[in-house]
Amino acid sequence: MLTTKWEAQDRELSEEEQLHLCGMTVKDRDHYWSMIDRYTGALSYHLAKCGYAMLDGKLEMIKRTGSQKEFGDVFGTPDEDRPVPLSLLKNGKIEHHSKEYVRQIYIEMGYKDEVDKARAARLPDPPYPQLSEEVIAEISRRYSLFAKAYASVKI
């Protein structure tokens, strides 16, 4: 899915609108998809060797002056993507080691509903609710496990 990033709410773009807004040709688009394909293949391979799979991710691409195409943001991190342990996934269990875990906690706490209501009423977003020490420790554990496996670094 391709979306805008400069609007308050992401909006899905048609292929025609995407090309028009970006000033891209079909050839440019195909080149970007080729870059993304190679990157996701390499990342998936590395993650599998580390015991993880990536369920979802976000890549931002840029085109510099002179038509040089590049990745324009960080990627392969638990703040941008959704890594899960392969051993659990193979048994049908999804355990997020990313911001998705935090997102699901806030949804369970009712925070997303509060945000949706505030935005519908054109009010500021409410402050984030406080997380318990146990939840913070679990977030830290999951991020640390991923970092150790992904980067082969002791934390």
pLDDT tens across 85-97, in order?
999 999 999 999 9
Closest CA to 115 of 131, 100, 128: 128
DSSP 101: H
Per the CB < 8 A criterion, the answer to whether 94 and 104 are in contact is no
User: Model-level pTM?
Assistant: 0.77
Domain boundaries, given as residue ranges, for the chain:
15-151
Mind listing the pLDDT tens digit for each residue in 32-80? Answer: 899 999 999 999 999 999 999 999 888 888 888 777 888 888 788 888 8
What distance in Å separates the CA atoms of residue 85 and residue 54, rounded to the nearest whole number? 9
| Alpha-carbon gap, residue 12 to 149, rounded angstroms | 34
